[in-house]
Structure 1
Amino acid sequence: MAAPDEFAVIDTAALDRWIRAFAAAVAENEQELTRLDSAIGDADHGANMNRGLKAVVAKLDEAAPAGPGALLKQTGMTLVSTVGGASGPLYGTFFLRMATAIGDADTVDQKLFAAALRAGVEGVVARGKAEAGDKTMYDALAPAVDALDAALGGEDTTGALRAAADAAAQGRDATTPMQARKGRASYLGERSVGHQDPGATSATLLLQAAADTLG
């Protein structure tokens, strides 16, 4: 069991690495995300997310935001303005809610990061009205934040974030047998069964990037 002083402190530079790692993962998996979305959506999730995250990275390259909250706010606003479909507002709201939760803090400890992540997920729920089992990104995000909260105090930051990423992956895999009840996929009814949700897939990439960079 890790001692509290072994918990990593997450600063602006660490969050910058996280966002860049997420962008790289989406770029690497763009075709797979598009393949998944072609089965139950508009076949544009990969392209939309890749375009938006490239814009996010370009903004980071222009000038480093003043603090963690400012970085997440800039990320959220850029995604809202550049990502088409439902993904832009949902991911944008996620990061904007995280930014609000962090506020003006210069650094983020494990507990504050977990609270901010949960605030982001709550923003996704408020925006998309999704519930567990609807076959959406929420099915990956919800178990991830629950796993992170459960690990607080008992794992170092890397271990806690890895538990969150693993929970997200399990939630992503669990969307395959679900019938979609939200979004474009819901129009397919029973035909949506048997397909992994693309939003849950990209959300898992987000948590995996956090585990890889924020420990």
Structure 2
Amino acid sequence: SGGLGSYAIQLATAAGANAIGVISEEDKRDFVMGLGAKGVLNRKDFDCWGQLPEVNTPEYDAWFKEVRKFGKAIWDITGKGVNVDMVFEHPGQATFPVSTFVVKRGGMVVICAGTTGYNLTMDARYVWMHQKRIQGSHFAHLKQAASANQLMIEGRLDPCMSECFTWDEIPAAHVKMRRNEHKPGNMSVLVQAPKTGLKTVEEVLKARG
């Protein structure tokens, strides 16, 4: 329901795919469904987060039971036996073992951050036996950015702007993020723009007088 999730859901929908959102607070469910997600899962309903436990231990057995429960919840949305083609991975350390487990045979886990830590673990057997792929991603090249911007212009992609701050309010925005008090969607900062709602260079120049 943050920046990555809100865009991923819309891009998947625009491409004709079905998106599943994963949330941590129930009050975000309607927001995610409103973006076009086919279903939503609350990670707090499952106890399979964190680094992968040592294989062949009771802790691993407990993790495996929970991660299969998570996979079953996905099937409740996609249909029995239908795993996801791709996982957009942002938290990193706490979720990577689950992401690499639930993605389908030949599917891809795309990772672009590690907000819970950078020490990634996984049960490699489920990666090599099922020919799964792991792809690093760091933003986009010019053509991709232009294509995304065109979707914005056409109204097919909503920036989901929840709040806009002035330059002097940047510290307050950082505090909100740290405390997880920001609303679903994206926050922005006005940089040399006199006010919100300006869509073209001409409008900015006119607003400046």
Structure with the largest fraction of helix:
1
Q: Highest Rg: 1 or 2?
A: 2
Identify which of structures 1 and 2 has the higher relative contact order when contacts are C-alpha pairs closer than 8 Å and 6+ apart. 1
